[in-house]
Structure 1
Amino acid sequence: MTVFGIFFASIAFAQLMMGSLLLTPLWKTNQSIRLYMLLMICCCCYLTKVIFVPVAFGSFFWWLELVGGNALPGVFWLVSQSVFGDHVVLKRWQYALASLTLLIPFVTKTSQMLFAYDINDFALLSAGIKYGGTLLELLFISHALMIAVSHWRGDLVQERRYIRGGVISVSALYIILVIINDEFFKLQWPGVELLKSGIMALLVTGINFFLFTLRKSSLFETVKQPPQESCPPEARARELPRIIDAMEQDKLYRQEGLTIAGLAKALSIHEYKLRNLINGEMNYRNFNDFLNHYRIREVTEKLAQPAYSQTPVLTLALESGFRSLSSFNKAFKNTHQLTPTEYRKKVLAPAVV
């Protein structure tokens, strides 16, 4: 590692530590902030092998790099799920799955130290652990990249779109390239290490810029606020009634595959302005949430009517614009805390009696 490589790595390390410290007062706010802080700490641990060289086997810094470096892909995936995915509250199985990137190498190294055997003596086992672990890491980072990109168009918060399209996506690509180089190509040229450290310093600088110059709610506030459709008339934008009429009267939400670009074209409103109206005045953070509000409302009304008591739930879901029963069930339960079938039984029970 060159002097400049260590210099850039130290810059990245210092900024990561600063970012995690500045977020400390907010760590109780929600899980996204806690996971983001953990990601920063994992990155710091990974950088110890660059800054504190040489690192002796079994030393304190060796353990830091082992834990932080291997946990990083899983934590990165959890951050992407928490901030950008559909899982506002992560499930236990997601944490368990993400922990595999750390658990596999940790158990291997610990067993090697305790029982004094070299896993390389078992060629098949060694190859399986090495390449299996690497594949798992690549899958996590690739899936995190897919989450950021796939949710990019539907995100109505402009600042988060910048973060998704820039920092998060580039960071995922960077981690993928580093994993491929470290595990497969193992290029040792001084220029490669300098490039890795320089790009990381640049990325962390960009992350801190977005993190501390934009509203923290742009990235971390994942709890949905109740929609506001009835703003005072004097405070409404003139296009807002057209948007509401398109949903309530024309029922455009029924169109399969409707995108915000398609809705903007149908209403003859610039897409950028439409995003601001739905987010700023109607208080939706995601375009799918906006559409699902009307879809769920339509199905809810029909489930409460005896005339539709024999109509399959799937039929009602597809007619309202949902693409699958699973996505409908999930959205419906998030709204009513009941499955559609349970809701129908509950509201129709008095009528049956």
Structure 2
Amino acid sequence: MENWKAIAFLLAAGQGFILSLSLIVRGARGPKASFFLGLILFVLSQELLNAWGMQVRYHQQAGAFRFWNYQSYLVLPLALWFFARLTTLPDYHFKKKYWLFFLPIAAEIGFRCFWQAYASSLQLKRTSLLDNNFWFLWTEILPIVGMILVLWIYAKKLSRFRIAWQRQLARLKPIQYLRLYGLFGFMILLTVLWFSGVILAWPIFSWVNFLLTVCLFGMGYLGYLNPDFFILPTLQAPKSTEKPEFFQYNDLAELQRLHAAFTTDALHTRSRLTLEDVAAHLNLPARYVSYLVNTHCASNFTSFVNGFRVNEVICKLGDPKEQHKTVLALAFEAGFNSKSTFNQVFRQRTGKSPSQYLPAQK
């Protein structure tokens, strides 16, 4: 029975590592939500690999690679926070300065490795860092408190997102509820067990390992079928009737300039185009450009730009001069920066995937 546990832990951890690394690489090039989902799965895979190591007594072997030194629970609340914002706020952008929030994680891992090397060089009897009250609060209690706060905020954001989603679809299907609440429910259950084991000292870590094994297998299956399963769709922003305090501008004239910037200047072909880029091109305040898009186009900025990109791809698909190019090459030329984002937006706009759309056109 113990051997089967070890095998199950190792297989689930391996699948989790493969899926998490693929999401991290994909998120580094495209949607950042995939990157932070990959970080979450990476930490959970590390935890399950650690359970395997304890099951087979790998930690006690001479010369064992101390992979557990590179694990930090502080990653979980931070990664979940950014994942929640990126999936529920369509115009939210992750800025480079936000990486500073991850410095305590680097400090934790760096000190743990230093302590290991220092103790080994002096042949000291290694005492657990968890015996230090400050270290225990920093690496065990703080992540749990952070998860509780993030999950509370995440719950409110999901509730607002569900209401907005239902306004557009009238009724959500069970699979859409799973996309909406699946990861959230898993993290809630994991945090409850985590709290019970660390704070209440209940013997529940076998249940944690069981939960991680089942969920990593399940999420791995979903991830291979659809890597964007837990990435929520981009919703159209409600039409705003409140005009910002820019009375000196003529809406109709500026709206024509805005459309010309895309139809004539082809701004949408710039990868990672931002609202600030468009505002600078038009020499207009970014808030006023957002008002034009929301009010006169009944859309948010991301959907507005992607509409031009999809239209350009469709036009080129019917152009004999472009037949030598792949659909993905046309998508990148139109400004998309990842295949998954293009496929998702194309399906939302046309009701078909690119592979289904081509035969229908022919």
Aligned match of 2:10: 10
CA distance in 2, matches of 1:171, 1:59: 36
Q: CA deviation at 1:46?
A: 2.0
Residue aligning to 1:226: none
Q: What CA distance in whole angstroms lies between the structure 1 residues aligned with 2:97 and 2:218?
A: 32
Answering whether residue 214 of structure 2 is matched by residue 211 of structure 1, we say: no
CA deviation after TM superposition for structure 1 residue 299, in Å: 1.4
Q: CA deviation at 1:13?
A: 1.5
1:96 equivalenced with 2:100 (yes/no): yes
**2:15 is matched by which residue type in structure 1?**
Q
Aligned 8 A contact 1:16 1:204 in 2: yes
- Identity between Structure 1 and Structure 2 (%): 9
Match of 2:199 among 184, 187, 191: 184
TM-score after normalising by structure 2: 0.52
Task: Give the equivalent residue in structure 2 for 1:40.
Answer: 41
Matching residue's letter, 1:16: G
Q: Note closer, same or farther for the CA distance 1:302–1:81 as it changes in structure 2 (3 Å cut).
A: closer
Q: Distance in 2 between matches of 1:121 and 1:301?
A: 58
Q: Distance in 2 between matches of 1:61 and 1:139?
A: 34
Equivalents in 1 of 2:21, 2:141: separation in Å?
Answer: 35
CA deviations on 1:205-258 (whole Å, 9 max, x unpaired) are 4323443445x5564487xxxxxxxxxxxxxxxxxxxxxxxxxxxxxxxxxxxx
Long gaps (5+) in structure 1? 223-284, 307-331, 345-353
Q: What amino acid sits opposite 1:36 in the alignment?
A: L
- Which residue of 2 is the match for residue 299 of structure 1? 243
| Paired residue type of 1:106 | I
Shift of 1:176: 1.0
In structure 2, the residue matched to 1:169 is 184
Distance 1:46 1:173 in 2: 17
Q: CA deviation at 1:167?
A: 1.7
- The offset of 1:295, in angstroms, is 0.8
1:290 to 219, 237, 261: 237
Any residues of structure 2 matched to 1:288-327 within 5 Å, and which?
289-291=236-238, 294-295=239-240, 299=243, 303-304=247-248
Q: Could you say which residue in structure 1 is the equivalent of 2:83?
A: 79
Distance 1:139 1:165 in 2: 19
Shift of 1:173: 0.7
**What are the within-5 Å matches in structure 2 for residues 14-33 of structure 1?**
14-20=14-20, 26-27=26-27, 28-33=29-34
Partner of 2:315: none
Deviation at 1:52?
A: 1.9
Cα offset, 1:49, TM superposition: 1.0
Match of 1:105 in 2: 108
Equivalent pair of 2:74/2:142 in contact (CA under 8 Å): no
8 Å CA contact 1:45, 1:64 repeated in 2: yes
What TM-score results when the alignment is normalised by the length of structure 1? 0.53
- Contact 2:17/2:42, CA 8 A, preserved across alignment: yes
Indicate if the aligned counterparts of 1:9 and 1:51 stay in contact, CA closer than 8 A. Answer: yes
Structure 1 residues 136 and 55: CA distance shift in structure 2, 3 A: farther
Change (3 A) 1:104 1:20: closer
Supply the distance in 2 between the matched residues of 1:81 and 1:343 (Cα, whole angstroms).
19
Taking a change above 3 Å as real, the CA distance of residues 170 and 11 of structure 1, as seen in their structure-2 partners, is: farther
Q: Which letter maps to 2:247?
A: L
Q: In the alignment, does 2:212 pair up with 1:200?
A: yes
TM-fit CA distance, 1:339: 4.9
> 2-side partners of 1:301 and 1:121: how far apart?
58
Q: What count of residue pairs does the alignment treat as equivalent?
A: 248
CA-based RMSD of the aligned residues comes to 4.5
The C-alpha deviation readout for 1:86-122, integer Å capped at 9, x for no partner, is: 563212354332553x246335534544665966776
Contact 2:24 2:36 survives alignment (8 Å): no
